[in-house]
Amino acid sequence: MYYSPVDTAQPWVSPALAWEAWQNNPNLFTMTPVQERNAARDAIRNSKVIEETVDAGYLQAEMRLLQNRLNILTGVRYETTKTEGRGPLQDLSLIWVRNADGSFARNAAGQRIRRPEAGAANSMEELLLTEKERASVANRSYDGYYPSLHINYNVRENFLARVAYARSYGRPDFADILPSLVADEADLGEIFDPTASRGSVTVTNTGLLPWTADNYDVSLEYYTNQGGLFSVGGFIKEISDFFGTDARIATAADLEELGLDSRFLGWQINTKYNSGDARVSGLEFNLRHSLRPLGNWGRYLSVFANGTKLRLEGSRDADFAGFIPSSLNWGFTFTKNPVTFGARWSYLGANRTAPQLTLGADGWQYAQFKRPTLDLNFSYQFGQRLSFFANGKNVFDEPRLLHRYGSQTPDYARVFAHRRYASIISVGIKGTF
């Protein structure tokens, strides 16, 4: 045993001692049938492979006008992507006996009959029958043109105006397109209800397209004689085919889009899809300056601050989990040879991460640090080749709060969880030889 440096009251198993004990006695660690089954299940579900081939080419042109005060840079890039992937296939309905017409066979009590080769519930026999390694296969391809235009104009020697347009794209994560299917057929018995879901199937959408965006940016930048910077800007990102998550009753069109066979017609489909148009717009600022104008002492200190405010617009299913609606960073750096010390405070606004339908149509989960986090860095230079450094991230271990609420949720019931990730401290010596 050893004790965690984060919490000395928490004992942990030492991997080194456990390995040494197993080396001395291989019979010391054995698996139960349940553990063997779980290990086989994890091996099947984690056995995924994907190969992605990207080919691209571009043209670029640049010109300078008005005695080099105006700079224009433009170009276009063509890119094509081909992806081939294999992943796990799970069908829980395979444990049941079926009649010739495909319906479930039943005993005298009306219960479904389990296939003998399926073994007991949660057994290895059931696992090998219902889950197949890399049996879900998908191939996909897409391409596109991505033009851009950047215009920089020097209003004065130290005052710069920028205007830009660019078409960009965002690829789906491999986890969202690697073939994977989990099916669970509902037991509807003799009841016929055309509105009832016949089962649920959770499937990765191997046909998920990358979103594309037309980006418009404008900014003003002022540089001081002391090397400082003051800038402000605005931007709009018009997105097509944005990612979204959904649970819906499958239609024939849904099955064709996802590459599923007709037996899933009327099932509840859980997947990620291209949810349509979205817009991200916002304002940002950035300032950085030495305090030297305040006196000779200020030459060792520089301060900075930057922030962003976003407006997110899209359908309810639009996945904005990767967009922080507001952020603010500020701090200082002290530099006097051979010492450098810096502090950075960061505030992140509440990030909407996942819908919570049980809390109403406007129910969501939000993530946010309780207070601004503080990062520190320190370095000491020993001559030209050797230096010591010590860095700390979130040094006060501020917890990250998860809130789940809708418009009808009372304030006292909104906090769902507190999560602590501990401070990250790194200390070392750097050398150049």
275 and 382 share one domain: no
196 and 267 share one domain: yes
Domain edge (last residue) among 290, 307, 330: 290
Question: Which pLDDT does position 4 carry in this prediction?
Answer: 47
Q: Is residue 148 part of a domain?
A: yes
Return the exposure string of 255-267: e unless at least 16 CB atoms fall within 10 Å of the residue's CB, then b: bebbbbeeebeeb
Q: Is residue 18 part of a domain?
A: no
pLDDT over 80 (residue 194) = no
pLDDT over 90 (residue 161) = yes
Q: Is residue 178 part of a domain?
A: yes
For the segment 127-144, the average pLDDT, to the nearest whole number, is 88
Structural domain total, the chain: 2
Give the number of residues written for the chain. 433
275 and 297 share one domain: no
pLDDT over 80 (residue 9) = no
Distance from CA of residue 196 to its chain's centroid? 33
pTM for the full predicted model: 0.72
Distance from CA of residue 93 to its chain's centroid? 32
Domain edge (last residue) among 290, 323, 358: 290
- Quick: pLDDT tens for 364-376: 888 988 889 999 9
Q: Which two tokens stand for residue 254?
A: 């849904």
Range of the domain at 424: 292-433
Question: Which pLDDT does position 345 carry in this prediction?
Answer: 97
- Quick: pLDDT tens for 285-311: 999 999 988 888 888 999 999 999 999
Most confident of 13-17, 53-57, 103-107: 53-57
User: 295: which residues sit within 8 A by CB, 6+ positions away?
Assistant: none
